[in-house]
Every structure is written in C-alpha cells, then in structure tokens.
C-alpha cells in the first residue's frame, strides 16, 4: 500500500464503452498526475493538476477526459477508445510543484485493455 | 530542457552478482535525483533519492551517488537477489518543474 489507491486494477472495455478510472490519495499532497505506460515505450505524462487546477495537458486526445474534484481525488473518464489505448494507467501525487526535492508517490495502476 | 538517459536493458545477472545501472542527466541548476523501481504488475516505488551534489542515497542495499561533475547518478548493489528483478527508472526534478524520467532498465536476476 503506497498511499495512492487506484481502481479498478484491471479493466476491459469495448471501443464504444464509457468508463472511468479513479485515483485517491490521503497523503496531504496537492498535485496529482496521470501517466500512460505502454509496452516498450517511455512513461508518458498525460495530465497534471495542482490544487485542483489542470496545469498540464500533453496533447492528449479528447477521448481521455480528466477530472479533479478535490486535492484527494482524480478521475480519468474514457470514451470511444482505440485498441492502441490499451496500457497501464498510473496515477501519482506529490507535494506542490515548487518542492523539487520531493518525488512522486504512485498508485499500482489500472491495466486497461480495449477490445 | 531537462533529460535523463539510462542504459537500455535488459540487464541479466546471476544471483549475488554486482549490479550497476548507469544514469546520466542534463539539467540547469541543481535538480534532485531519484531512482524508482517497478515490480511486475505494480506501479513505481521510490527506491532512493539525493538532493544535492555528493549526496548518497541508499535503500534495501542499493546505493547511488549524486555526481555533479559527471552529471551522473548510477545505481549499484553489491549482491543482487532474484527478488530484485524489476524495471528501474532514473529521474530528476528541478524546482518548479515536473519529474523527468529515463526510459527504464529491466533487470532480470537468475538463480
């Protein structure tokens, strides 16, 4: 248990489905992140939230829609995904951006398979 | 911009062998440096960190020293175990910026 909880751990969805990934932390962190990890590719930063405000969107397709209702919760809403979106989606949290000597705390990830 | 380069894997070792995974970085200023480990089916876990030049981070028998003169943060362990098999990520973080990761190095330790 790392302090960052992601649900579900595994998700299989059809290309026409709508689903959501959830991330929760109670570490008192105020920055949260979504990463995508595909086989044989580097980690890809998708979205960053600082104090509930989105501060980074790395040209992510609109079929991925993040939501951060408070500093403890982060969602990734998925709709009309493609098979190439199959990957491990990792959530992370940290102290605010100006505290550079702090690393990130990661969740265990959601393994997404799009069929 | 900031960048991290680490050796490509996989690195395959026998149990009790000595491990080195090289990591070099490019960054302005004085970043903090990190090693993360990802075990199969899991997320990334912070393994160790160093926040200034000549600092040595250590944890679970792993060590890495922040070398500003060579812009390096190589990961070492004197005697690896099968349970150390995982993917290792080197990373840096500059003030006001996000964590920048290397590409990851897969370590496989055989009995």
pLDDT at residue number A48:
92
| Gap between the Cα atoms of A103 and A105, Å rounded | 7
- List CB contacts (< 8 A) between B94 and chain A: 100
Is-cis flag, bond preceding B6, omega within 30?
Answer: no
Task: Say yes or no: B9 contacts chain A, CB-CB below 8 A.
Answer: no
At A100, is the pLDDT very low, low, confident or very high (cuts 50, 70, 90)?
Answer: low
Q: What is the pLDDT of residue B84?
A: 97
Q: What is the pLDDT of residues B9-33, one digit of tens each?
A: 899 999 999 999 999 999 988 899 9
A2/chain B closest Cα distance in angstroms: 8
* Chain B residues in contact with A36 (beta carbon < 8 A): none
User: Above 70 in pLDDT, residue A98?
Assistant: no
Quote the pLDDT of residue B3: 92
CB contact under 8 A, A43 and B104: yes
Summarised one tens digit per residue, pLDDT across range A64-82 is: 999 999 999 999 999 999 9
Tens of pLDDT, residues B42-98 = 999 999 999 999 999 999 999 999 999 999 999 999 999 999 999 999 999 987 678
Q: Give the torsion through C-alpha atoms of B25, B28, B30, B31, to 10 deg.
A: -50
Please give the pLDDT value at position A97. 62
From A63, A71, A91, A111, select the one nearest A4 (Cα to Cα). Answer: A91
């Amino acid at each position: 248990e790392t302090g960052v909880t992601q649900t579900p751990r595994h998700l299989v969805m059809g290309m026409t489905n709508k689903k959501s990934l959830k991330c929760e932390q109670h570490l008192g962190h105020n920055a949260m992140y979504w990463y995508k990890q595909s086989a044989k590719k580097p980690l890809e930063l998708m979205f960053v939230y600082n104090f509930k405000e989105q501060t980074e969107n790395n040209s992510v397709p609109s079929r991925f829609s993040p939501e951060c209702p408070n500093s403890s919760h982060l969602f990734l809403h998925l709709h009309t995904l493609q098979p190439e979106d199959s990957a491990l989606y990792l959530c992370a949290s940290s102290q605010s951006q100006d505290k550079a000597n702090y690393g990130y705390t990661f969740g265990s990830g959601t393994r997404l398979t799009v069929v | 911009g900031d960048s991290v380069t680490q050796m490509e894997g996989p690195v395959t070792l026998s149990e009790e062998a000595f491990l080195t995974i090289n990591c070099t970085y490019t960054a302005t200023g004085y970043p903090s440096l990190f090693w993360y480990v990802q075990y199969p089916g899991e997320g990334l876990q912070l393994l160790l960190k160093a926040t200034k030049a000549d600092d040595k981070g250590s944890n679970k028998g792993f060590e890495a020293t922040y070398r500003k003169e060579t812009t390096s943060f190589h990961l070492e362990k004197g005697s690896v175990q099968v349970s150390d098999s995982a993917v290792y990520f080197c990373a840096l973080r500059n003030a006001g910026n996000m964590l920048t990761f290397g590409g990851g190095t897969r370590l496989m330790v055989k009995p």
